[in-house]
Structure formats: structure tokens, C-alpha cells
Amino acid sequence: MKVIHVSAECYPAAKVGGLADVVGALPKYQTNLDYESAVIMPYYNNKYAKDAKYTSDFECEVALAENNYKAIVYKVKNSFDDLGFHLYQIKIENLLDRENVYGYQDDTERFIAFQKVVLDWILQFAKAPEIIHCHDHHTGLIPFMLTQCTKYKSMRGIPTIFTIHNAEYQGEFSFEKLSYLPEYDLEFSGILEWDYAINPMAAAIKACWRYTTVSPNYMNELPYSSTGLDWLFDTEREKSVGILNGIDTDVWNASTDTMIAKNYSAKTVEAGKKANKLVLCEKFGLDPNKPLVAFIGRLVYQKGADIMAGIFDRALDANDINGLVLGSGDPHAEFLLNELKEKYPNRYNTFIGYDEELSHLIYAGADFLIMPSRFEPCGLNQLYALRYGTIPVVRTTGGLKDTVKDIGEKGGFGIRHEHVTVDDVALAITRANKLYNDTDEFKRIRKEIMKIDNSWENSAKEYIELYNLISK
Ligand SMILES: Nc1ncnc2c1ncn2[C@@H]1O[C@H](COP(=O)(O)OP(=O)(O)O[C@H]2O[C@H](CO)[C@@H](O)[C@H](O)[C@H]2O)[C@@H](O)[C@H]1O
């Protein structure tokens, strides 16, 4: 193996959000470029694990203070042929093997144990990997342990890359749990520390060889982002590279997607989207003759969840459109979105929950997809929308700025707005409605956007170039 990706999520084994999509696709594209890659992630007690066939690859014990846990590294049988990369999952009984990925009181313990087992597993390799690529804070202690812990001294020469998918979540915990980490020279505790706590994201930025952000613009924003690590991002900037996420065009392909009602291509986009919209509108009691504006995502502050109901209320009041939201998260946002259904019967609907299949149908059947994000490290939804001929309406931030050009600009194909306010987003939706009614232009744009190449090919190459640069 040349590169080992370490992550809490990987599609299709476990997905909460975009992290899973990236870790489930990038390694496959790297393999296609003859760069053999593997993913190691936790084993969760979910449907994927129940259906998968495993072989045992390695066993060890992992200690957390006075508790010892049995850990097994499983390899998913045929993963290389089925997924395009070797997939390994770590089962730690009574700790990591829960139904959900996150959300437990002992998440800190769970992911520390996971990271220790990852390194114990690599430690017994006959041939070390050329790169260890860590994703987000759940894997952020690995660069620290590799460079500082006595146990892993022999692996110090393995370069580490740390990719920030979302700098808002940093995984900080108290120094009272310091004893969970393997032995190291306490003089170097400063590497772990940020604001009097152990901060895995900060530790990763300090200890890794290079860190990357999932879009170039997000990298530029981080030093002013109010994540609390602004200063660190500014001082460590020389180590950073912004590489735009891509999409897996095998999974996200309207002409082969088995989760949508009718397959279509850029050539058949009008008939294809019409058929999908019809099914979607029937399912949610909406009028297929009106433009359909949708939102898909985690209902959190980042995504503008707190004003989502207000946005749709204002936009539906001002325009003859339909609205549809798929998501879950903040209970108050869920409540307000559900309440809106009563105010706009047959014009608005909400689906609270996580539904992969429905998300595909929405990308295929909607006319517009809104992303009123306060910040967006890259964003994949707008890329999926484009690929399915759905026009994105996005805030000018992070990766959204890198990937969506406003129709007011030369060669523009989306709608952008500057602020995350009800007024600004509703105004952007009004522009979308106007575009919908300019039939020729609307049809031209949706044909064009389906042809934009946002696949992983180029970005997978950029990562490999970075690996080659530091592993020489
Ligand atoms: N209720 C639901 N049902 C079905 N599917 C749902 C869903 N809610 C979300 N999804 C799916 O989850 C993914 C979300 O991906 P994003 O990249 O847009 O956001 P996320 O904030 O999770 O990722 C973070 O990491 C990624 C990857 O680097 C960055 O692009 C992003 O900016 C950063 O915030 C998409 O595949 C979307 O379709």
C-alpha cells in the first residue's frame, strides 16, 4: 500500500456527511492512477457491517487508563474489486462498535482507541506505507503520536497529511485524559494544547507534514474564520495546500443512477428531469408545474438551518414556487420546517431524516438547490446538483465560491448571494424563479451544467503530487 487513509467515515460503509463521500471516492481515483490506496475506519454496528464479509487481519489490546479493550482489524473481502481500494475496519468491542458514527458521551475515548489501534496495526507491517493521510479531528492525534510517542518511534519517517474537511469541529478534550495517550516526552505537550485543552485538530496542524483544505478558498478564509484556531492557521500557512474536492462520477451519474426514477443525460435533460420531478412532486404532494427549490443537508448553523424555515416562508410568499427540505439536526429548525408544511399545503414539504436514495431523487427532480451556508469548506451538494442539471443557489463562501459562477458573470451558471439572511437568500430564490421563467436560458443552462467536469480525476492527481513531494 502506498497511502493509507484514516477516517471515521467512508461511503458506503458509514456516512454522516461529505467526509464519507470524499474518503469513499478519492482512494478509488488514486488506485486508478496506479497509486495503491487503502482506507482504515471504525467498524460500526450498522447495516453495512451486517451485510459485509470480513477476514481478520490483525488483533491487539488497546488500553485507556485502567481499561483494556480487545481490538480486531478486519479487511472487507473483495473491497479492492468492489470499491477500488482496500477497506479495513477496526472493531473495538463495547467501545467503537455502536450503531452510529458519532454522538456518544465517550466519543473522545472511542476515537483515541481507534487511532492507537491504527498505529499498532501499521507498526507490524513488513513494509511501511509511503503516506498516512488523516481526515478531520477524529484522526488528528495520529501525526502527534507518530512524531512524539516512544512506541511509534520506528515510524517517525512516514509522512503524514492531514485534511481539514471542517475546522469547526476540533474534538477538544481535557488534559485529565492525557493518560489515554501512549507515553511521550511531556516537554512536548504544547503540541497537543490549544486554549488549555487537548485539541486534536490543532495538534494535527502542528505535527503533520502538510495539511490540506478541501478547497483553495477555504484555505484563504481559515486565518479569519473565527474557529478559534485562526492564529494557528495563519502561522502554519506555509504547510497548507488547498485541493478542491471532486465527485465520484460512477456513483453520481444521472444516466446510470439506480436510485432515481428515470435516467437521463445532458441531451435528454428536459424529459429526464421532468419525469423525476413528477415522481418527487407526487411523493410530496407538490405541483410539478411550478419551479421546485430544494435543500439537502445537516440542519446545523453552518448550513443556515436556523433561518431555513424563514427563508422558505419568505420565498414562498413572494414567488409562485414549491419548496422541499431533506435533512435532520437541530430540533427547533426541524420543528419550524415541519410547521411550514401547514402554512403552504401542496407547495412546501419537509422530510426529516437521512435518506440517501431520496437525496438522489431530489438532485434529479429539483430545479434549484439552495446552500445558504455560513461557511462551506468545499460543499459537495452543489457539485451533485450541477451533475444532475439542478441549478445551485449558493452563498459566496468557501468552496461554493470556487465552484459556482453567478449568471450575472460571463459564463455564469448558478446564483450567488453574499449574506446569510432571510432577505438575501429569498432574493436569490426570486432571481432563480425569474430564470426559470426565462425558459430558453433556463434550458440552456441546465444542459450546460451537466457537462461541467468536477470529477475526482484532477484532484486525485494533485494529492499524489503532494505525496510525491514530501515522501521523496
Ligand atoms: N438528510 C440527508 N439525507 C441524505 N443525504 C444527505 C442528508 N444530509 C446530507 N446528505 C448528504 O451528505 C453529503 C453532504 O456533503 P457536504 O460536503 O455538502 O457537507 P458536510 O458538511 O457534511 O461535509 C464537510 O466535508 C465535506 C467533504 O470534504 C465538505 O465538502 C463540506 O464543505 C464540509 O462541511 C452529501 O452527499 C449530501 O447529499
ipTM for the predicted complex comes to 0.98
How far is the centre of ligand 1, averaged over its atoms, from the C-alpha of 270 (Å)? Answer: 27
Q: How far apart are CA 120 and CA 146, in angstroms?
A: 11
User: DSSP class of residue 245?
Assistant: -
**Best mutation site among 324, 378, 463 for ligand 1 pocket (most ligand atoms within 8 Å of CB):** 378
Beta-ladder partners of 58: 73
Cβ of 327 closer than 6 Å to ligand 1, yes or no, is yes
Q: Give the CA count within 13 Å in the CB-facing half-sphere of 142.
A: 34
Ligand 1 atom closest to the CA of 18, numbered from 1:
15
For 269-449, the fitting CATH number among 3.30.365.10, 3.30.1490.20, 3.40.50.970, 3.40.50.2000 is 3.40.50.2000
Report which protein residue has its CA nearest ligand 1's atom 19: 18
Report which protein residue has its CA nearest ligand 1's atom 31: 379
Cell (9 digits) for 327: 435533512
Q: How far apart are CA 203 and CA 194, in angstroms?
A: 8
The radius of gyration computed from the CA coordinates of the chain, to the nearest angstrom, equals 23
Per CATH, 3-246+456-471 and 269-449 having the same topology is answered yes
Beta-ladder partners of 328: 298
Cβ of 296 closer than 6 Å to ligand 1, yes or no, is yes
CB 6 within 8 A of CB 56: no
Residue 15 assigned to a binding site: yes
Task: Return the domain boundaries, the chain.
Answer: 3-246+456-471, 269-449
**CATH class for the domain made up of 3-246+456-471:** alpha beta
Cβ of 356 closer than 6 Å to ligand 1, yes or no, is yes
Cβ of 297 closer than 6 Å to ligand 1, yes or no, is yes
Cβ of 40 closer than 6 Å to ligand 1, yes or no, is no
pLDDT in tens, the chain (472 residues): 799 999 999 999 999 999 999 999 999 999 999 999 999 999 999 999 999 999 999 999 999 988 999 999 999 999 999 999 999 999 999 999 999 999 999 999 999 999 999 999 999 999 999 999 999 999 999 999 999 999 999 999 999 999 999 999 999 999 999 999 999 999 999 999 999 999 999 999 999 999 999 999 999 999 998 899 999 999 999 999 999 999 999 999 999 999 999 999 999 999 999 999 999 999 999 999 999 999 999 999 999 999 999 999 999 999 999 999 999 999 999 999 999 999 999 999 999 999 999 999 999 999 999 999 999 999 999 999 999 999 999 999 999 999 999 999 999 999 999 999 999 999 999 999 999 999 999 999 999 999 999 999 999 999 999 999 999 7
